[in-house]
Amino acid sequence: MVNLRESVYKANIYLWKNNLVYGTQGNVSGIDRKNKSVVIKPSGVPYENLKEGMMAIVDMAGNMKKGDLKPSVDAIHHLFLYKNINKIGGVCHTHSKFVTVFSVLGIPIPVITTAHADVFGKEIPVTDYVDNTGYNIGKTLLKSYKKNKCPAIILGNHGLFTVGENPPKAAFYALMAEYCAEVSFYSLVSGGILGKEIKSLSPHEVEKWYSRYHSDRYGQK
């Protein structure tokens, strides 16, 4: 089994290398359910200075178990999701640019490409703005997840949260959500300028692409 601290570290670096995070913002975490601990990026450390041994390890109440640096201030939202969605193993949070544009507009990202249909199989939902007190963000994310079953959720006037079976999968969803947001943004804006209607894929087509991508017909064993 891959060391969870290494996996979380690499997933955080993946965000940085893919220009999904700026400064010290954004974070990925992973959970070890057997040992009831969560590994997460330390608070306020720039990505270029990040080392594997700096990853903070907390218990399910958010208390430090291992590490010299304080965990991300977003750990409370990650912990809430782990406690309420049993099957997830990784959580990721970014303020990537194009997703954030949709968060400000308050509109979901439509399924206008096959790449979007492949990965998400549905539009990426957006919530109302919610402040960061207590479990407000966690509860809002959970409500959206239960309703939409989408692993990527845009928080109004804020950014993106994703959940996945492990930390790299959660980070991958953040990359693909940003891809979908950028393509949608340019398509919708240029469509508006050119007077061209942008059509979403039909539900039948979306399902067809999604089910192939999530079957053993796609990729390698």
In angstroms, the CA 26 to CA 28 distance is 7
- Annotated active-site residue 218? The verdict is yes
Distinct helix (H) and strand (E) counts, the chain: 7, 8
Calculate the alpha carbon distances from 29 to 11, 42, 115, 169 in Å. Answer: 8, 10, 26, 11
CB of 95 to Zn ion, least distance (A): 6
Among positions 159-178, residues that touch Zn ion (CB under 5 A) are 159
Q: How far is CA 89 from CA 34, 169, 170, 193, in A?
A: 12, 9, 9, 43
Residue of 22, 118, 135, 213 with catalytic role: 118
Residue 216 annotated as catalytic: no
Residues 6+ apart with CB under 8 A from 67: 42, 53, 54, 55, 56, 57
- Within 131-160, the residues that bind Zn ion by CB under 5 A are 159
Catalytic residue among 59, 128, 129, 218: 218
**Residues near Zn ion (CB under 5 A), total:** 1
Which parts of 50-109 interact with Zn ion (CB under 5 A)?
none
Instruction: State the maximum Cα–Cα separation within the chain, in Å, rounded to a whole number.
Output: 57
CB of 177 to Zn ion, least distance (A): 14
Q: How far is the CB of 196 from Zn ion (least distance, A)?
A: 34
Nearer of residues 26 and 121 to Zn ion, judged by Cβ? 26
* CB closer to Zn ion out of 171 and 206: 171
The DSSP secondary-structure symbol of 124 reads B
Q: Shortest approach of Zn ion to residue 158 CB, angstroms?
A: 6
Chain residues that interact with Zn ion, rule: CB under 5 A = 159
